[in-house]
Each structure stands twice: as structure tokens, then as C-alpha cells.
Amino acid sequence: MTVETILPIPNIFDAKRILCIQPHYDDNDIAVAGILTQLARNGAELFYLTATDDLMGVVDTSLSDADAASALKRDQFAAAKIVGVKEHYWLGYPDAGEYDYFAVRRDILKYLRMLKPDFVFTCDPWLTYEAHHDHIQTGLATSEAVIFAGLPKIASSDPEVDSGYEPHDIKGIAFYFTREPNTIVDISSTWEEKIGALRCYEAQFSPSEMEQLIAGRDMKSQQVAQGQSFARGEALKVLDTNALHVGI
Ligand SMILES: [Zn+2]
């Protein structure tokens, strides 16, 4: 018996409102822009929440923080047009810096209660050999916030949001950058959009790094599709939110 036989894998294509919570500006798109573009076309509303300010990844180190931040946002908005993202939100924690885990969790609780998504996407914090703390913190804080969103005694960072919140159902959580996928989606029809979205992230990749990124995603998408009836895929670990505690 597996997790899936007790708690069936939620169907991400049933999603109506999706909150995609990422450590850095480009993680959602690098991982699953192909899937997210399909979901937006399918009528789902996409909201992106970015945990850090991403300033360490900006290639042009001569830029002031303010100019680097606006370059990052310019790129993110350009990619969002292609993917179909409805709204962006940012938490602004220092990229690769020191910040409090529980503060991040409180902020994520706020956005879960404010936006009331029925599906949440984030990076898998249990990815083996993941060294980047921002990824571990963001994925874990998101997972915890998802199971605590309906508990009124656990405060978010915004008392006003908490006081107006009526508990709602989060049907599923989808982890990308995972080594244990249970859902492979054919992205052949949105591959061009994915590459177009990634090419928007100019502030974070030099031209040669960009080609490396695209080549890497190209290989990965084909590897993920091996044994399937399609040529390119993206992989997710999708779980019923009740599966996020004590190994149900
Ligand atoms: Zn990242």
C-alpha cells in the first residue's frame, strides 16, 4: 500500500487558484513553466510569491541594489506575460542571507489566508543534496504553512488577514525540483513558452549561462519524458495536504 492508495494524488488540472511560492525570482519558471502555462490556459489563476530579494544572483555587480531589484522585476514581469501569471508578491528576505524561518512561515501563512489558493506549488525541501538554504527554508515553511493555515491560533504576520480568514480547503501541494516525482506532465505544447519565459531572466544569467540553462532544461525535459508517450515533460511530487504529516 502506498501514500497514493490512501490519499489519491490530487489532479493539478482541477486547480482554480494556484499560489506558487519560490525562493528566487526564476525558480517556478525554471522548474515548471511548461506546466504552469498549461494551467493558466486551462483557466487557473496563477499567483507567484517570491521569498528572497534575489540580489546575490544578479550578474552585473556594478548595479546598485535598487537598479538590480528593478531589473529582476522587469524580467519577472516579462516572463509572467508569457506564462500567464496574474499577480506577483515578494517577501524580500536577503538572498542567501540570514533570516528567521518562523518569520517566513508567518508571511507565507498570510498569503495563504489572503489569496486562498486551492493548490500550492513550491520547491521540494527534502531534495537530497540540496545545499541552498533559501530553497530548504522556502519549501519547508510553505509545507508547514499549508498544514497550519486553518489553525487560527497560529498567527500569520498580518492580524487583519487572520481576523477576516474563513478556513478553506487546499486540495494539494505540488513540489518541483524533486527526486521523487509521482506526476509527469507532457509539456511539448508549452515548451516554446517555457524557453521564452526563461530567456526573460537576463539580469541573472550572462548570455553563455543562459545557453547552459536552456541546454540543461532541454536535456532534463527529455530525461523526465523517458518511457512516456511524449518527448518532453516536467516532474512534480503532488500530495494531498493531509499527507504532509506523520507519513500518512
Ligand atoms: Zn532558487
CA nearest neighbour of 52 among 129, 118, 167, 141: 141
How far is the centre of ligand 1, averaged over its atoms, from the C-alpha of 194 (Å)?
Answer: 17
For residue 152, report the phi and psi dihedrals to the nearest 5 degrees.
Answer: -65, -25
Query: Above 90 in pLDDT, residue 121?
Result: yes
Measured in Å, residue 24 CA sits from the centre of ligand 1 at 5
As a whole number of angstroms, the distance between CA 20 and CA 49 comes to 6
Q: How far is the CA of 26 from the centre of ligand 1 (A)?
A: 7
Taking the C-alpha atoms of residue 92 and residue 205, their distance in angstroms, rounded to an integer, is 20
> How far, in Å, is the centroid of ligand 1 from the Cα of 247?
27
Among 183, 189, 196, 224, smallest CA distance to 41 is for: 189
Distance from C-alpha of 117 to C-alpha of 17, rounded to nearest angstrom: 5
State the CB neighbour count (10 A cutoff) for residue 175.
27
Q: According to the model, what pLDDT value does residue 6 have?
A: 78
- Looking only at the bridges linking them, the beta strands covering 233-239 and 172-176 are antiparallel
Residue 109 C-alpha to ligand 1 middle, in angstroms? Answer: 21
Alpha carbon of 176 to ligand 1 centroid (Å): 11
pLDDT digits (tens, 9 = 90+) for 164-177: 999 999 999 999 99
The pLDDT value recorded for residue 1 is 59
Q: What is the pLDDT of residues 30-76, one digit of tens each?
A: 999 999 999 999 999 999 999 999 999 999 999 999 999 999 999 99
